[in-house]
Structure 1
């Protein structure tokens, strides 16, 4: 079986994303192609518009980095179980801080979940 370079690149990307725990999550349809506009209370400051798709990619990038951090933490050999638990709690709280952005996700299973209780 011979793969063309495009197909090989596609397969490599899929393998890397799978290894890192990344997923192809989708932005909710109502936000697709939307804009976020930041307004300062200072009238001399120009508003800043950010494409919603770019903002969504940043949010999912943060999530992917948290997942990698979580994997490295869980596999770390020299941390004590207590230290791992402390760091895991901080990661869970970070996820919880990001739950505000759950409205952006099309699929519920892609949403952030923080500390429950």
Structure 2
């Protein structure tokens, strides 16, 4: 005997799963370009360029640069960890904490 209710339930469950997957993908794309994440990561890229310029100009040793790059990588990893806990975005509190860490590294560049 054919069970129409079971078939209907299966089809509805499959459709719901498809919709959930599609909306998660869209949310992930949006969150990856979230303004707070973009701002934090842009600052990290800018600091990376400043470090490279200082090494090239002879204002910073490669050892000093390596230490600062390591600090920036740790900040970037922390940003990723924070984003993974909040549906691919960071909160204002997260951004503030990351900016404070970036400020500490930034002050060491150009001394």
Higher normalized strand content (fraction of residues): 1
Coarse TM-score class (shorter-chain normalised): 0.3 to 0.5
Q: Greater relative contact order (Cα 8 A, min sep 6): structure 1 or 2?
A: 2
Structure-2-length-normalised TM-score? 0.38
Higher normalized helix content (fraction of residues): 2
Structure-1-length-normalised TM-score? 0.36
Query: Greater CA radius of gyration, 1 or 2?
Result: 2
